[in-house]
Homo-oligomer: A and B are copies of this chain.
Amino acid sequence: MSVTPVQNASVPGETDTDQTKRRPRVVILGGGFGGLNAAIALRRAPVDVTVIDQRNYHLFQPLLYQVATAGLSPAQIAMPIRRILSRQSNATVLMDKAEAVDTAARCIVTGSRRIPYDYLVVATGARHTYFGNDAWAEHALGLKTITDATAIRARILSAFERAEVTDDPRLRQKLLTFVVVGGGPTGVELAGAIAELSRRTIVHDFRRIDSSSTQVVLVEAGERILPAMPPCLSSKAQRQLERLGVEVVLGNAVASCDDSGVRLADGTEIGSACILWAAGVMASRAAKWIGAPADRAGRVIVDERLNPPGHSEVFVIGDTASVTGADGRPVPGVAPAAKQMGRYAARAILDDMAGRQSAPFNYRDYGNLATIGRKAAVADFGKARLSGYAAWLVWNFAHLWFLVGFRNRLVVFLDWSVAYARNDRAARLITGHYGA
């Protein structure tokens, strides 16, 4: 068995740091949009990059709701991190789970080993949170990983299957009621997709139930959906959802979730066997690891160079970071922001190696998109605002465009076009141990 060492041969650096013998080691925790863009931006740099992720794939998260609603297959939006970095000879990918960071010794601690770094990029993302009610997790499924998505897909499809089998009208009604908690983009996309699935895609598939009588309820605690959008687009999105048959409940939080369904703060009870949770995110444990202050969502509070206090060799980026933009507004937890931070961290590392002072991070907001269903979306580009079919075309084009690097962009496009044209969803499989 031939084993080549992690440490690449020493290459004369183009830098004037004191590390002339050894190339600086950059460890990147997390292979999402932020971490991957940092790694790629270092592809020609005289550094050794190690990307550590507990999963083997990079995920195109904006389309994850499509996997959860059977429109796309996992492999169409996920790609092995090591395949993406296959030809980047200064990059090593390790599938491993960070347990701690020893900032004094500059080491990542995993279950089996210690991995030293000179620069550390923390891009470990966020998970959904139940605001302290972790017991809700088994009833209200969240959507962050491929495994989450296939579990949701199985839960949704099993509800229809069980409704077709049962003779009990009350159980049937409960099985045909879907509750989506949280009116952000993910909640809106999920609710719209479930409504379309039940009213269009599978409407001829059942004999004993009428799938078009399915109830989809979107529950939002705030006073409008898509709070990051201007109010006029929020109400347009709401009307588009209602046209698809989604019932939108505003200003009402979830008081509890259990086997029987959801109880809202005002006492309303909604019987449901399929509750989806798109209400809140909590950053990974990075703040604890590096002993840095965190905001309420657990995100590390970093300065304008994305460093936590006292560690100019550590960069915290993406959904793990709480960053205030030059305009005084918080940088949103979206893919374009994570990508920009990843590239910024790479440049800042090169600046530091060259002894230069980096300019502060400056977030460029290119706009905001949310899709509601087949041929409906809302888009906010500052001055220009779109809704309906035009917004959907922009959304569609943007998402296919940003599947860059996914070799199957064309295949996804073809697959998806055929499915849209035929009102079909190809990936309607109940797999895993979730079957009724």
Measured CB to CB, the residues of A under 8 A from B are 1-6, 54-57, 73-76, 78-80, 82-83, 86-87, 91-96, 110, 112-113, 146-147, 150, 157-158, 161-162, 164-167, 169, 172-173, 176, 202, 204-210, 213, 407-408, 411, 414-415, 418, 422, 424, 426-433, 435-436
Q: Which residues of B contact A95 (CB under 8 A)?
A: 158, 161-162, 164-165, 430, 435-436
Is A429 within 8 A of B83, CB to CB? no
- CA separation between A3 and B158, bound complex, in Å? 18
- Residue with the highest number of chain B CB atoms closer than 10 Å, among A79, A80, A93, A431: A431
Is B167 within 8 A of A433, CB to CB? no
Q: Which residues of B contact A147 (CB under 8 A)?
A: 431-433
- CA separation between A28 and B217, bound complex, in Å? 37
**Contacts A/B (CB < 8 Å), 11 sampled:** A1-B176, A57-B428, A79-B426, A80-B428, A83-B428, A92-B208, A96-B436, A110-B165, A147-B431, A150-B432, A408-B426
- Residue in contact with A431 in the complex, picked from B150, B173, B408, CB distance below 8 Å: B150
Of all chain B residues, which has the CB nearest A147? B431
Is A86 within 8 A of B204, CB to CB? yes
Is B2 within 8 A of A210, CB to CB? yes
Is A407 within 8 A of B422, CB to CB? yes
- CA separation between A162 and B56, bound complex, in Å? 11
Is B96 within 8 A of A429, CB to CB? no
Q: Which residues of B contact A73 (CB under 8 A)?
A: 73-76, 427
Q: Which residues of B contact A414 (CB under 8 A)?
A: 411, 414
Is B418 within 8 A of A411, CB to CB? yes
- CA separation between A3 and B175, bound complex, in Å? 14
Is B422 within 8 A of A80, CB to CB? no
Number of this chain's copies in the complex: 2
Q: Which residues of B contact A430 (CB under 8 A)?
A: 55-57, 95
Least Cβ distance of A39 to chain B in Å?
A: 13
Is B429 within 8 A of A146, CB to CB? yes
In the complex, besides A73-B73, A74-B427, A411-B414, 16 extra interface pairs with C-beta distance below 8 angstroms are A1-B169, A3-B172, A56-B435, A57-B428, A74-B429, A83-B424, A83-B428, A94-B165, A146-B431, A147-B432, A150-B432, A407-B426, A408-B426, A411-B418, A414-B414, A432-B432
Least Cβ distance of A345 to chain B in Å?
A: 22
Of all chain B residues, which has the CB nearest A172? B1
Is B56 within 8 A of A429, CB to CB? yes
Of all chain B residues, which has the CB nearest A204? B86
- CA separation between A225 and B74, bound complex, in Å? 35
Known: A3-B209, A95-B165, A96-B165. A80 touches B435 (CB 8 A): no
Known: A1-B210, A86-B204. A75 touches B426 (CB 8 A): yes
Is B213 within 8 A of A6, CB to CB? no
Of all chain B residues, which has the CB nearest A151? B432
- Residue in contact with A206 in the complex, picked from B82, B427, B428, CB distance below 8 Å: B82
- CA separation between A87 and B422, bound complex, in Å? 14
